Amino acid sequence: MFSGLVKKSFDTVNENSAIVLFFVLFLIAINFLLPYIFSAKSIITTVILSICLFLFAAVFIAGWINVLKESTEKEKIKEKNFSAIFFDGAGKNIIPVAFSLFLYSVLLVTILFLVGRFAQYFFGSLDFLFKDILNMTPEQNSFMNYIKTLSIEQLYVIYGWQLSFMLAIAVFNFFFLFMPPALAQEIKINIFLKVFIAFKNSLCFTFKNFIPVFGIYFLICFISGFLNIIRAITLPNIIFAILFLFIYIYFVAYVIMLIFNYYEQKNHCDNRTDGIRQDDISDTTCQDN
Which whole number is the average pLDDT over 273-285?
A: 41
Please say if the pLDDT value at position 141 is more than 60.
no
124 exposed, middle or buried (CB, 10 Å; 0-12, 13-18, 19+)?
middle
pLDDT computed for residue 105 by the predictor: 93
Give pLDDT, residue 73. 86
Q: What's the predicted TM-score (pTM) here?
A: 0.84
pLDDT digits (tens, 9 = 90+) for 49-94: 899 999 999 999 999 999 999 998 888 888 888 999 999 999 989 9
**pLDDT for the residue 136:** 64
* Cβ-proximal residues to 279 (8 Å cutoff; 6+ apart), any chain: 265, 268
pLDDT in tens, 116-138: 999 988 888 888 777 777 666 65
CA–CA dist 12, 69 (Å, integer): 11
The pLDDT tens digits of the residues spanning 230-264 come to 887 777 778 888 888 889 899 999 999 999 999 99
Q: What mean pLDDT, rounded, does the chain reach?
A: 84
Whole-number Cα distances in Å, 285 to 12, 40, 267: 17, 51, 11
What distance in Å separates the CA atoms of residue 282 and residue 274, rounded to the nearest whole number?
A: 14
Stretch 7-24: mean pLDDT: 92
